[in-house]
Amino acid sequence: MKKPRVLINGFGRIGRAITRINLDHDKFELVAVNDINPDAKNMAYLLKYDSTYGQLARTIEHEPGRLFIDGQVVELTHKENIKDLDLTGIDIVIEATGIKSNLQEIEKMAYLNLATKYVITNVDSPTAKNIIFGVNESELLAHKGNIFSASICDAVAMGPVYNIIKKEYGVISGYLVTLHPWLSYQNLLDGSAASWSQPGDVDSHFALGRAAPQNLIPKSTSAVNALAHVIPEVSEKIGSFSFRVPTPIVSGAVLTLLLNKDITVENLIATFKNIQASQRNNIIALTSEPLISADYIKNDFSAIIDTRWIRVKNMNHVELIYWYDNEWGYSSRVVDLIIRLWENT
């Protein structure tokens, strides 16, 4: 089957992770990359050498305007605005910058049919068709639009866990606490809190400007709001909170739920195991190993439920912990989304 021709707009952490994952699985043809970094040599270097995921075992070469990955040509451009890209022959555009102005431009471009499909990463979009695997990927076949959002890492992890419990036991209320690694827009030393979605602006949450390697930084999380695009009632039932923690990768989460039905730890584990055995994509996994965050680096599941910490109180009050590589697991679902979109073309 012919593979889709893909352009990645934004070659940061997620853009490069998607590229590495596709090199392992060969699901699409990476035709072009656009990034505001004007230095092709530096872009090649950042793809080849990664402090989190290690050295890429591929031949990476470059020249002005091109990358060569194992000899395959990838065209490079350095446009600031997505509307200025040449999308001739491109089947799917991955918008991986997270910049809000690009989302507005995509709506205009999609209307003009300048590319077949657009997949937005890092942002939960109110206008795109939001897809979270383990919740609503079955809706892809019937959707007629051409803008899709892969949501955000926290919602991609929470979504299938919450959805399984909701369907089997019903949810009255609950609370989510996430522990999220630092992100690239944070500071090594105290400074202003730079906005990643609106470059040049200072984020009103000043604490995010404090030194990332030294601090636990309390903040809100958009996980529940993002999940509400596909499970609307979740915003009325679940509260949430987050800490930005001084580690470079892998998130953890504590999800506490009050259920409509009685439950036991054994019943819940059995429910998760049944779903895991029948799922098409690597969405949920279970572990009882005494592992730490570093052990989940490069794990491609959306959420890994740590069964050692499942607790049930008063028969219907459940608490559980799950882990997720907030870059690799999330980017793996972006690749899955591309595959499903192409299958439905």
Burial degree of 179 (CB within 10 A; 0-12, 13-18, 19+): middle
52 neighbors 299 (Cβ within 8 angstroms)? no
Q: Is 13 helix (H, G, I), strand (E, B) or coil?
A: helix
Rounded to a whole number of angstroms, the CA Rg of the chain reads 20
Phi, psi of 232, rounded to the nearest 5 degrees: -55, -40
Residues designated as active site: 153
71 neighbors 23 (Cβ within 8 angstroms)? no
In this structure, what DSSP letter does residue 4 have? P
Instruction: Give the integer Cα–Cα distance in Å for 287 and 269.
Output: 10
- Token code pair at residue 216: 């636990």
139 neighbors 306 (Cβ within 8 angstroms)? no
